[in-house]
Chains A and B, each alone.
Chain A
């Protein structure tokens, strides 16, 4: 399965070794890890809860990975996204891509993250000194996704 949603932490080295699978056709492995910061929008964050939409989440991630594979020459791609209670410095998400060459691996990795940020059904709720608040989506994330010029599919905006 190229996409996993789980509460448990992940081991990046272990996951990359499994993804590479000793395949000698692979010349490049690109990986991104997203982690929890302790400050967001001028407030300190003591903890965060990641909510998702069971049933759609894995499907959305797999669709994004399939989109990446259609655009670049990727041997394999992996997305792991955690849900539930997380704390500053925790790992949230891993995106990794293997390819013969680094251009495709880097591009696919960044594309998957940009699409995940705007299309995958996750929502963050932060605990701050002022209380709990839902994180707002950022216009910069929409702009990053728009770079990839694939607005032909509905984005869910109504």
Chain B
């Protein structure tokens, strides 16, 4: 019997981070230990390159889960849309 593949979520990248990552969105299977926004950030940073640079600890990054602003402890669930973006500059 196969183990669970993990948590299928959609990631959306906006503004300067979309340019830095070279992608507007992607679908991923997050491994079981990646069950919070904070864990997801670290998991993505481990890809290296722009991911490591932009998502390094201390870099100002904002996250929304299903269109609500989230914190590092916000859990992620199958089917979630998780957006990662720089601090906002509207108004």
Contact surface of A with B, Cβ cutoff 8 Å: 34, 50-53, 55-56, 59-60, 81, 92-93, 113, 116-125, 134-137, 153-158
Contact B64 A53 (CB under 8 A): yes
**Main SS at interface, chain A:** mixed
Which chain B residues have a beta carbon within 8 Å of chain A's beta carbons? 12, 14-16, 37-38, 41, 60-64, 67-72, 74, 83, 85-91
A134 to B89, CA, bound (A): 9
Which residue of chain A has its CB nearest to the CB of B71? A154
- Rounded to whole Å, the gap between the CB of B76 and the closest CB of chain A is 12
| CB contacts between A and B, total, < 8 Å | 100
Which residues of chain A are near B85, meaning CB under 8 Å? Answer: 53, 121, 123
- Does the CB pair A53–B91 fall under 8 Å? no
Q: Which of A50, A81, A118, A134 contacts B86 (CB 8 A)?
A: A134
B70 touches A154 (CB 8 A): yes
- The CA-CA distance from A34 to B60 in the complex, in Å, is 25
Query: Cα distance A122–B85 when bound, in Å?
Result: 10
Q: Using Cβ atoms and an 8 Å threshold, which residues of chain A touch B91?
A: 34, 81, 92-93, 113, 116-117, 120, 122
A55 touching B67 in the complex, CB below 8 Å, given contacts A117-B91, A137-B88: yes
Question: Closest residue to A113 on the B side, CB-wise?
Answer: B91
Bound state CA distance, A153 and B63, in angstroms? 13
Whether B69 lies near A124 (C-beta < 8 A) is no
Asked whether B83 lies within 8 Å of A53 as measured between CB atoms, the reply is yes
Query: Which residues of A are found within 8 Å of B88, using beta-carbon distances?
Result: 117-123, 137
What separation, in Å, do the CA atoms of A156 and B74 have in the docked complex?
10
28 chain-A/chain-B pairs, Cβ below 8 angstroms: A50-B90, A51-B15, A52-B90, A53-B14, A53-B83, A56-B64, A60-B69, A113-B91, A117-B91, A119-B69, A121-B83, A121-B85, A121-B88, A123-B16, A123-B88, A124-B89, A125-B15, A134-B86, A135-B89, A137-B86, A154-B68, A154-B69, A155-B62, A156-B63, A156-B69, A156-B70, A158-B63, A158-B70
